[in-house]
Amino acid sequence: MTVAKNRADRVMLYDIRWEQFENLLKDLGHRAARLAYDRTTLEIITPLPEHEHYKEVIGDLVKEIADVLDLDYESCGSTTWKRESRMAGVESDNCFYF
């Protein structure tokens, strides 16, 4: 495992196997940090307060536009989306299913 130089809110790890990524998701459970995995690179992000503010503003905007356009939607929150065949996984801050 190789660790890159990081910012205070972000850590990049390299040479991480898919199984390690899956185990981290399971072991960490519900948490504030978000994980993104692409082939052997893992990024762990801890959202800062201003990030959370914009997440809420954008989420409210999406809901308002959907209501005005009379679109059915479901808010899926910070769901983990992953696909082993692509060796990729990501956790959204907030996502919507239309």
Q: What is the pLDDT of residues 56-67, one digit of tens each?
A: 999 999 999 999
Mean pLDDT of all residues belonging to the chain: 89
Alpha-carbon distance of 42 to 16, in angstroms, equals: 7
Q: Minimal CA–CA distance to 2: which of 28, 40, 38, 44? A: 40
CB atoms within 10 A of CB 53: 11
Q: Minimal CA–CA distance to 32: which of 45, 13, 51, 50? A: 45
pLDDT of res. 13: 95
Alpha-carbon distance of 36 to 43, in angstroms, equals: 5
Query: The tokens of 84 are what?
Result: 């082993």
* 68-87 pLDDT tens trace: 999 999 999 888 999 999 99
Output the pTM of the full model.
Answer: 0.70
Backbone Cα Rg of the chain:
16
Confidence of residue 50 (pLDDT cuts 50, 70, 90): confident
Of all residues in the chain, the percent with pLDDT exceeding 90 is 64
Going from the C-alpha of 44 to that of each of 57, 66, 76, the distances in angstroms are 23, 31, 20
